Amino acid sequence: MSKVVLITGANKGIGFEVARQLGHAGFTVLLGARDAKRGEEAAAKLRSEGLDVRYVVADLDRAAETASALAGQIQKEFGHLDVLINNAGIFDLTGGDSPASTVTSEALKRTFEINFFGTVEFTQPLLPLLRGAESARIINVSSGLGSLGLNSDANSPFYPVKPLGYNASKAALNMFTVDLAWELRDTKIKVNSICPGYTATDLNGNSGTQTIEEGAEAIVRFAQQPDDSSTGGFFHKDGSYPW
């Protein structure tokens, strides 16, 4: 039986490419998206490549509700979940998310609601299914901008980039990774934060310098990591980042 992976925000960008690559690696892919039309179209495109891909509702505005419904569906059809990739996230491109002295409370709250609270609430109902797998992986798609070390290092390329909402939400997501990995330390579930790198996607107005394939690389690799590999870490395609 093929392994089952659930990917949020997978109807486009990095999530879609991760779905494609893991589908070609033999996974049954549950392609999560908020919008049914876009999700179905994305899943159909991957099925046309001969992949086992099904659209599922994954809406971080209703994270606990949609994850609980999904958990019931997955339990009924598969009985377990091998990989959860928390890829969905937002970045406020309107100007509201700015440095600490000018960031709006609306941008802060909205960004945290999706990138942090939504991810935590979405993950929790799925943990019993991950515990039911022979070995499981949780990947939280983070960013080097969430690294306190890189944010305070004048020699880092991340140093001058200071949208408080996004950076702080990814730092909080990294803490979720650390805490959950500790809690699951005696299980066969590995939990890691992965930075895809500055990839050209809608999230950044397609200003990124990496290709989608490059952005998917580390996520795909860690979704298939062996049982004796790291947990509770912060990685990118070429190594690791400081917290």
Mean pLDDT by 10 residues, the chain (243 residues): 94 97 98 97 98 98 98 98 98 93 97 98 98 97 97 95 97 98 97 87 66 93 95 96 96
Structural contact between residues 9 and 90, judged by C-beta atoms closer than 8 angstroms: no
Q: Specify the residue for token string 């159909």.
A: 44
Helix (H) and strand (E) counts for the chain?
Answer: 9, 8
Count Cβ neighbours within 10 Å for each residue of 115-135 and write b for 16 or more, e otherwise. Answer: bbbbbbbbbebbbebbeebee
Structural contact between residues 19 and 46, judged by C-beta atoms closer than 8 angstroms: yes
Which residues are marked as active site? 166, 170
| Fold held by 4-240 | Rossmann fold (3.40.50)
What's CA 201's distance to the chain center, in Å?
14
User: Around Cβ 157, how many Cβ atoms within 10 Å?
Assistant: 10
Cβ-Cβ contacts under 8 Å for 99 (sequence gap 6 or more): 162, 163, 164
- DSSP SS3 for 112: helix
Q: State the pLDDT at residue 1.
A: 73
Ramachandran class of 92: left when φ > 0, alpha when ψ lies in -120 to 50, beta otherwise: beta
Q: State the pLDDT at residue 40.
A: 98
Cβ-Cβ contacts under 8 Å for 45 (sequence gap 6 or more): none
CA distance 200 to 11: 15
CA distance 20 to 14: 10
Q: Which stretch of DSSP H or E encloses residue 141?
A: strand 136-141
Q: State the pLDDT at residue 227.
A: 94
What's CA 110's distance to the chain center, in Å?
17
